[in-house]
Amino acid sequence: MDFSIAKRSGLRQKGELDSLFGVSYPMINAYLNGKSYPRGANRIHIERALVVLQELITTGKLPFSEDKSSEARLKAVEKMKAIISAKK
């Protein structure tokens, strides 16, 4: 599992990646630092999320511009969550 995709996305660990992956902030931190890896249902969900993030990076939709507001970022993360859920 390539967590460099999550790092390149520019999403914040707390409030964005943790919400997107459906895990706590400490778990996101552990994943990104190679200290832990997702297991079970979390693994499947996070693999889907990483695919979506890679698509968004490739199309230039991520990382967000510096002037994107917190509210707009949150709304975008909610849209990403819907896309990931639809991939099931």
**Radius of gyration, CA atoms only, the chain:** 12
User: Which pLDDT tens digit goes with each residue over 30-61?
Assistant: 999 999 999 999 999 999 999 999 999 999 99
Q: What is the distance between the alpha carbons of residues 40 and 54, in angstroms, rounded to a whole number?
A: 22
Give the relative orientation of helices 70-86 and 40-58 as an angle to the nearest 10 degrees.
120
Cβ 18 vs Cβ 28: under 8 Å: yes
Q: Could you tell me the two tokens for 36? A: 């832990």
Instruction: Choose among 59, 55, 62: nearest CA to 84.
Output: 55
User: What does the pLDDT read at residue 87?
Assistant: 86
| Average confidence (pLDDT) over 7-22 | 96
Query: How much is the pTM?
Result: 0.94
